[in-house]
A and B are shown apart, each in its own frame.
Chain A
Amino acid sequence: VRGVDDAPIRLRPYGGLVAVTSAMPQEAAEEAAVRARLERLESVEAMARAHHLVVDAVARCSVVIPFRLATIHHDNQRLLDMLRRRHAEFDATLNRLTGRVEIGVKGYANGATAPAEAVDCGTDNPGRDYLRMRRQQRDRRERAAQDAIDASERIDAALAAVAVDHRRHQPQPVHLRDDDAENVLNAAYLVETAGLQDFLAQVRQHSADALGVRVEITGPWAPYSFTDLESGDRP
C-alpha cells in the first residue's frame, strides 16, 4: 500500500501509538496548493481513495483512528508533539474501537405506500374530477415520503439499540442517483466484529419489514464515524 501521490508509507511510533504517514513536497503542503487540489474532483477522489486504502489496510491488522482528509503536519516534530499531547485521548479512543467495525446503512424512499381509500371517480364534472385526481396524486406522494421517513426512523432506532454506537450523516443529494430516489437515512453503526453477521441479519430483517424504504448496506468500514475526540480539532 502507498500513500497519497503514491508516496511510500512511513510509520512514526510514539509511546505505543504509531502514526501512519506519507511525505509530500513542502510546496504541495502550502495552504493555497492544498486548497487548489481540494477544488478539483479528480484530485480529491485520488486523495480520498489513497487515504482510504491506507486506513483500510491498517484497520485489517490493527485498530485505527482515521484522520480527516488532508491532515498535514509540517514536520515530524510537530507530529510527535501532537501524539504526545493527545496520547491519553487517542489511547482511550483506540480502546473503545478495538474489535469493532463500522457499517453504513442508507435508506431510500421507493415510492411505495399503503393503498389509498377507494377512489370515487367519474362524475359529470371533468374539471372537478381532474382537480381531485391531482390532489389524490399529491397526497399519495406525500404519504409515501412520510412513510419512508417513518420507516427509516424505525430502522435506525432498532439498529441503534443493538449497535455499540451510532451516528447520522447528512442525507446524500437526490441527484447523485440514477433513479432519483430520495436518501432518507444515512447512518453509521459501530458493531462488534464478532457480531457482524448478526447485525447484518438484523439490518436485512428490519429492511424487509419496512414499507416505502429500500435499504443499502456499505462496509465494513474502519470506524471513521466514531473517532469523535473531545476537542474541535478532530484528527
Chain B
Amino acid sequence: MTIEAVGGREIALVDVLDRLLAEGVVLYSELTLAIADVDLVHLSLRTLITSITGEEQR
C-alpha cells in the first residue's frame, strides 16, 4: 500500500500530516493531542506550519 501504486512519487509530508493529525495542518494553529489517553497537550502548530511553508518554497 504505497503511493507509488497510483502517483509514482514520494508521499508529500503534508498529505501524511493531513491524516496523522486529523484536524488539518493548515488552518488550525492549535491542535489537541491525546497523550496517555487522558492527558491532553495543546500544541501550537504555528511554528510547524511556517516551517513547512519555508521548506516547500525552496
Contact = CB atoms under 8 A, between A and B. Distances in A.
Contact of B19 (A35, A200, A220, A221): A221
A31 B22 CA distance: 20
Interface string A186-205: 10100000000000100000
A90 interface: no
A79 to B, nearest CB: 8
Given A172-B14, A222-B1, A41 B37 contact: no
Contact of A220 (B1, B27, B52, B53): B1
A223 to B, nearest CB: 9
A218 B48 contact: no
A26 B56 CA distance: 34
Given A35-B41, A52-B11, A66 B19 contact: yes
A8 B12 CA distance: 25
Interface of A: 29, 31, 34-35, 38-41, 44-45, 48-49, 51-52, 56, 59-60, 66, 68-74, 78, 82, 101-104, 169-173, 175-177, 186, 188, 200, 216-222, 224-225, 233-235
Interface of B: 1-3, 5-7, 11-22, 24-28, 33-39, 41, 43-45, 47-49, 51-53, 55-57
